[in-house]
Amino acid sequence: MTLRLLIGGLMLTAFGMNAQMNSINENFDSFANAGDGSLPQNGWTTQISVTDASVAPRLSVEAPGAADKYIQAYSLFSPNTPFYLVSPQIAAPTGGQTLSITTLRIGGAPGSGSVEMGLVVSPTDMSTFTSLGSPVPMTNGTAVVTTINVPASAYQYIAFKFSATANHQALRLDNVVLTPAGSLGVNDTSKSAENIKFTTTSDDTALQFISKKDPKNIQIYSAAGQKAAEGKLNGQRFDISALHTGVYFMNIETAEGKLIQSKFIKK
């Protein structure tokens, strides 16, 4: 009996370890349902301190176009009252990671809102909320991509702290990307030394390169470490039209055979 209990305990421990996510690349499109009652789902939970349902703020998955889903934070009748979306459990950050989100204000009565990213010790204890940076303002319908650094921490949940200045503020959160530990970073020094520069085109369908010699090869990886594209330039451009919104990492092999590592955000 003791041996069986020990084995069971080890299996449970291993399951818990496997449940921890080393990275996140979530656009919420795969969530099964939308509207009120759509959360918790897929490990994403909420924490709302207001208990009166007639005035309490709400967090839900929304899908106005059926395909492009996102998280809606709605203040209802609770302005200036924080409420939280909490991620699935992640591996304890070791430093060097980044967290990226896309935000905007969908609409509602005159006013604005914000979201602040932080880490918490558990999905139910918001008193441990440790901010990772200043609140991201949401004042209009223009999508904004915000990327911040994630320091080393023992806390293993990301919390998104929403707040609004007035009633009936509808705020949108999408494309949550936590880079895995050890991911490639932007190396501006290498880019300068090899005289290779690039930017995304205005329509976000290609990377426009500026270099004396075309690179031999380009490999693009998702934030989860999966290869998303590979190839060569076509007229100083690399096609990224098939990529989903998010953060991507890139290996650039120069004409001289040197490797440059960089990253970009597909909006």
* Range scoring the smallest mean pLDDT among 2-11, 117-126, 201-210: 2-11
What are the pLDDT digits (tens) for 238-267? Answer: 999 999 888 888 888 888 877 777 778 887
pLDDT number for residue 57:
97
Q: Which pairs with CB-CB distance under 8 Å and at least 24 residues apart come from 203-208?
A: 204/240, 204/266, 204/267, 205/239, 205/240, 205/241, 206/237, 206/238, 206/239, 206/240, 206/241, 207/237, 207/238, 207/240, 207/264, 208/236, 208/237
> Do residues 35 and 166 share a domain?
yes
Domain boundary (157, 178, 199) is at 178
Residue of higher predicted confidence among 226 and 160:
160
9, part of any domain: no
Locate tokens 């290498």: which residue? Answer: 190
Range of the domain at 97: 20-178
pLDDT tier for residue 224 given thresholds of 50, 70 and 90: low
Domain boundary (178, 211, 226) is at 178
Q: Which two tokens stand for residue 103?
A: 């935000």
pLDDT number for residue 84:
98
The arithmetic mean of pLDDT across residues 99-117, rounded, is: 92
> Do residues 158 and 192 share a domain?
no
> Do residues 68 and 130 share a domain?
yes
What are the pLDDT digits (tens) for 30-57? Answer: 898 899 999 999 999 999 999 999 999 9
Q: Number of structural domains, the chain? A: 2
> Do residues 52 and 165 share a domain?
yes
CATH code where residue 202 lies: 2.60.40.3080
> Do residues 138 and 203 share a domain?
no
Domain boundary (178, 209, 241) is at 178
109 and 169 Cβ atoms separated by less than 8 Å: yes
The arithmetic mean of pLDDT across residues 8-19, rounded, is: 40
135, part of any domain: yes
> Do residues 168 and 199 share a domain?
no
> Do residues 126 and 168 share a domain?
yes
